[in-house]
Amino acid sequence: MIQLSRNYSLPERKEDDLAIKIVGVGGAGANALDRIVLDGMEHAEMIALNTDVQSLAGSVATCKLQIGRGVTRGLGTGGDPELGFNAAQESAEEICETLRGARMVFICAGLGGGTGSGAAPRIAELAREHGSLVLAFATLPFVFEGKRRCRQAIEALQELQRVADAVICFENDRMGDIVLPKAGIHQAFAVADTTISQSVRAIINVVRRPGLIRIGFDELLAALRSQNSRCLFGYGESDSDNRAHEALALALRNPLMDRGKMLSDAQAVLVQIAGGPGMTLTEVEIVMQELNRHVEDHTQILFGTSVDNKMGNRLSVTLISSLSADGAVQAAPQMIPRLKPKPTAVEIPPATASFSGPIEIEAPTPPNVVEFANPQPPPAVEPVEEEFFAAEEKNLPMAEIAPPPSAPAAVRKEKKPLVRREPQPAAQPEPVKTAPPKKEKYVQARQEVMQFEPITRGRFEKSEPTIVEGQDLDVPTFLRKNVRMK
């Protein structure tokens, strides 16, 4: 009895059973996915989806899926969204198989091209039909990429916004703002990838981290509630003495934030402050006070804080919010119920026909969307949660498709249970699995701190060194103690 009650009091048990899948669609999606993998992400499964076999072969994701084998024959879509959509349609069954069991699906896609614009909305739709919460991270092309691409991107974005639970949209043009004018084009594109990687990680952390004041899906959805909107996202991390202030400043400096000016129009802002065991109440207060200067009085602040030993002496601030596009606030809620039945009724037949299990899951989806548009978040969440559990129980064994590295065109199906009990032969590209990057990530963070000019003693270079307790006191203290200076 006593033991039982003790077991109940364990708070951290829950965080592990959250199945998250990150899907990179198209070339840009794959790039973003690669960045996420390289930055280290151990809590989620990475799936690269593309029509182009070559690009797929170059990806470092653990699971790769070629779509539209009949439509494109292993080539790209040539910038035609129609082709991309058809490809996704053709491989709908495999996509469903891959995404099954995920409670949360992140879709990363670069809009404007063929695969990203065409397939991403369809994939989002499929994922939702299987009861996953779908968050899409979309990048819009640079203006110089041409008007046609931009138009395609906008159309795809609207489509995505219609089908996904939330869309976080990165405008590449805005990304350009934070890169130096002289920086190479590579760097400009890389910034978008890095930002996506950061946001995905931050959102996963927000919902996964055991919090003192926990943030769940419900708050996340409330913050991202308004459909047809721009998402505001900011993330900052600091380990200096003034880390609370700096982390918030960094979060507000994020290109999606516009230095916090955008926040004043937001209906709800989600804030999560995470830090090591050394985080103090004062620091939390500082962040909240400063943040309050940026938001209006009526704005709902969804506040969460968590202590994570892995943070060390760093403190991070994550801000998530969404902003209704001008004038669209009224229109959005009414449009969704009308638009939503269309895809389920018209386009789904091939998918539904091939599936026996998920039919009862499909049913609650459309009313669900209506509730999201409703400005009361708590009731909206419960069905979603239930749905996740249901989906998870049903779909324990899930299929993962990994092409052998030598011949990517020959796609092989493999049944693999979610709980990895039996050791699998090393058919998958194990070397790029996510376990090592976890370490790498923290090492990286340290290295950043170490980025100083080579240690020097300045004006004492030629004088007799003062060595006390093995330390050369002529070297500046802040260098020896690895304190970062700007």
Partner 1 sequence: MASSNLMVGLEIGTSKICVVVGEGKPDGTLKILGVGQAPSRGVRKGEIVDFETAMKCVHEAVVDAEEKSDIMIRSVYLAITGGHIQSFNNRGCVLLPEDRDEIDEQDVEDVRVNAREVSIPSQNAFLHSIIQSYHIDGQDGVLSPVGMLGQKLEADFHIIHGMRSRIQNSIRCVKELPLDVEDVVFAPFAAAQVVLTQHQKNLGALVIDVGGGTTDYILYNDGAVRQSGVLAVGGDHITNDISMGLRIPMTRAEKLKIEEGSTVLGNCLPGETVLLKDDSGFAGKEIERETLNTIIHMRLRESFELLKKRLEDEPFLNYLGEGIFITGGCSQLNGIDNLAEEVFEIPARVCHAQTMSGLTSAFENPQFSAAIGLIKYAQAVQADRPARGGIRGLVGKLLGRMR
Which residues of this protein are in contact with partner 1, per CB under 8 A? 240-242, 245, 249, 290, 453, 456-460, 463-464, 466, 468-469, 473-474, 476-479, 481, 483, 485-486
Q: How far apart are the C-alpha atoms of 250 and 248, rounded to whole Å?
A: 5
Collapsing DSSP to helix, strand or coil, 180 comes out as: coil
Residue 301 CA to residue 263 CA, distance in Å, equals 11
The dihedral sign for the CA sequence 84, 89, 91, 93? positive
CB of 118 to partner 1, least distance (A): 46
Nearer to partner 1, 265 or 290 (CB): 290
Phi, psi of 238 (to 5 degrees): -155, 155
Check if the beta carbon of residue 249 is closer than 8 Å to that of residue 198: no
Q: Using CA atoms, how far apart are residues 213 and 11, in angstroms rounded to an integer?
A: 12
Contact (Cβ atoms closer than 8 angstroms) between residue 121 and residue 39: no
- The DSSP code for 473 is T
- Write down the least CB distance from residue 254 to partner 1, Å: 17
Q: Whole-number minimum distance, CB 244 to partner 1, in Å? A: 10
Q: Compute the least distance from the CB of residue 279 to partner 1, in Å.
A: 16
CB of 399 to partner 1, least distance (A): 52
> Rounded to the nearest whole angstrom, what is the least distance from the CB of residue 165 to partner 1 in the complex?
36
C-beta closer to partner 1: residue 75 or 455: 455
User: How far is 161 from 155, CA to CA, in rounded Å?
Assistant: 10
| Residue number, 290 or 385, with CB nearest to partner 1 | 290
Nearer to partner 1 among residue 303 and residue 460 (C-beta): 460
Which lies closer to partner 1 via its Cβ, residue 389 or residue 478?
478
Q: Which residues, in sequence order, are CB contacts of 142 under 8 Å at separation 6+?
A: 172, 173, 176, 188
For partner 1, the closer CB: 415 or 459: 459
- Residue 457's alpha-carbon distances to 447, 448, 454, 478, 479, in angstroms, are 21, 21, 10, 12, 10
Please report how close the Cβ of residue 439 comes to partner 1 at its closest, in angstroms.
Answer: 29
Closer of 420 and 459 to partner 1 (Cβ)? 459
CB atoms near residue 162 (< 10 Å): 21
Q: For residue 48, what is the enclosing H or E element?
A: strand 44-50
Angle at 273 between CA 325 and CA 267, to 5 degrees: 25
Q: Collapse the DSSP code of 282 into the 3-class scheme (helix H, G, I; strand E, B; otherwise coil) and give the result.
A: helix
Minimum CB distance to partner 1 smaller for 327 or for 458: 458
- How far is the CA of 445 from the CAs of 246, 440, 448, in angstroms? 16, 9, 5
Q: How far is the CB of 486 from partner 1 (least distance, A)?
A: 6
3-state secondary structure of 102: coil
Q: Which is nearer to partner 1, 407 or 455 (CB)?
A: 455
Smallest distance, partner 1 to C-beta of residue 477, A? 4
